[in-house]
A and B are shown apart, each in its own frame.
Chain A
Amino acid sequence: MHDRRLAWYWSLLSLLVLSAAAWFMFKSFSYLDYDWDFAFLKDYLWDSVNNAPGLILQGLWVTLKVSLLSIVWGTIIGVMVGAFMMAREPVLKWFSVIFVDVFRNTPVLVQLYVMYFIVGTAIEMDPETAGIVTLSLFCAAYVAEIFRGAVLEFEKGQIDAAKSMGLSPLQIAYHVAAPQVLRRMLPALVGQFVSLVKDSSLVSVISVADLTKSALNIVSVSFKSFETWFVVAILYCIVNTILSSYGRYLERRLRVS
């Protein structure tokens, strides 16, 4: 049998479905009969009076900082927890499994409340730190599973080969296992990081002045929620697009041939 070319009418069908969706969206917006006004946001982006970043850009900076720190700490802790999950020592192993289950199966919102209002009160933690700690642990739970999955898939024969060459355990980990495990982790890891950037919006509930908190403040003053949230959504989208593009670039570079 020969490969058949895809018939043209399938593309027509796709176009038809897409135009129906577009028409539906257009109808919804025109039905709204809303007076769109994006101009007022200019001052919130750049404060022309003080010639300084406005509320939105300040919020974006906090969001970037919280997300990045949580990603870095989450990855470090996650890899450790993932390794503990495979340990032979039962106490450490079960503690890690329970840690992962607790942080994956409860809402981040509740985790943030507990961390800030209960733990944070006991040891005097400011909201931002509480947010970063919570998100790091939350991220770590997912990274741990991703790491464990990648290691379990790793072939034991590769380790045997490295051992038979006389490499030390540390050399095996760094030169043989790490590059292969990392490559296998990357797609899932990038997905997790993108989702963490969005989840970081929840730190606004413990009054961290992130992008979402800025938006909430602007809306409460201007009552223009549509415009504000759209702009904020676009900013989240830009950050995540950059993140996932970089992830795809790394994937391509690490892929063999």
Chain B
Amino acid sequence: MKKLISLENVSKTFTTRDRSNAKITVKVLDGLNLDIYEGDVLCLIGPSGSGKSTCLRTINALETIDSGRIEVCGHIYDGKKPLHKIRQETAMVFQRFELFPHLTALQNVALGPRLVQKKSKAEAESMGEDLLKRVGLSNQAHKYPQQLSGGQQQRVSIARALAANPKVLLCDEPTSALDPELVHEVTDILQVLAREGMTMMIVTHEMRFARNVATECLFLEGGRIVERARPQAFFDQPQHARLKTFLETISH
């Protein structure tokens, strides 16, 4: 198996001020080590502030790091290569969709192929149409994001992410902003993608989805990976006390 992403000893601290204006430093990533191979579907699970989202965002160079080494598809983040070139290897799905409101669904999907892959307008649009069909939205292609439901918007944003032909798909809580009955629209598509062999990293609070989709689940706390295991072992025989209490709390 080919190694696509490696994080070595990655650390990051945020400095903020509390109400009394005293400085507080929060260690969001604390010497994180993580390798991702082709075909892996990793689900990142953990309490809020545990560094799950930050971990994804560092892979996409949306966050800077204080120390450590990140390699994504053969590129090392050392400031020598323009970041937007490195980012073309991965794609990201956001919690709040982040579709561009001034573009239609189709234009949203076709924007990347047109600007990044320098395809002609017709080529980009036919690619966009294929992708929208894949997420079951070919009949909504000419609608603007605000005319679509949350689930539809997230599906468009998945299509937009796929348009980049990414080697790794990063999903940052893709279902957290959705109405409960719309969650399956998005999880179904992600499961299909996983089955087709797409390498993915998914931050999620949907445990059932994680159990079904993941090749491995990771439990993060305090910017460290506390436990890493196959889904069945992860959910049925958690090793660490912290994961045990976490799973108990959310199952109630």
> Which A residues fall within an 8 A CB radius of B?
155, 157-158, 160-169, 171, 175-176, 179-180, 183, 254, 256-257
Contacts and interface: CB of A to CB of B under 8 A. Distances in A.
Given A160-B62, A257-B144, A165 B112 contact: yes
Give the dominant DSSP class at A's interface: helix
Interface string B166-184: 0000100000000000000
Interface of B: 57, 60-62, 82-85, 87-88, 90-92, 94, 96, 98-102, 111-112, 115-116, 143-147, 157, 160-161, 164, 170
Contacts of B147: 257
Contacts of A256: 101-102, 144-146
Contacts, number: 73
A188 to B, nearest CB: 18
Given A161-B100, A179-B102, A257-B147, 18 more contacts: A157-B98, A158-B100, A160-B57, A163-B61, A163-B87, A164-B62, A164-B90, A164-B92, A166-B84, A166-B87, A167-B116, A176-B100, A180-B100, A180-B102, A254-B102, A256-B101, A256-B145, A256-B146
A183 B102 contact: yes
Nearest to B163: A165
A175 B82 CA distance: 19
Contacts of A167: 84, 112, 115-116
Contacts of A176: 100
Contacts of B87: 163-166
A166 B146 CA distance: 24
B84 A175 contact: no
Given A179-B102, A256-B146, A163 B84 contact: yes
A162 to B, nearest CB: 8
Closest 6 CB pairs of A and B: A166-B88, A161-B98, A164-B92, A166-B87, A179-B102, A165-B112
Contacts of A158: 98, 100
Nearest to B112: A165
20 contacts: A158-B98, A160-B57, A160-B62, A161-B99, A163-B62, A164-B60, A164-B62, A164-B161, A165-B111, A165-B116, A166-B85, A166-B87, A167-B84, A167-B116, A176-B100, A180-B100, A180-B101, A254-B102, A256-B101, A257-B147
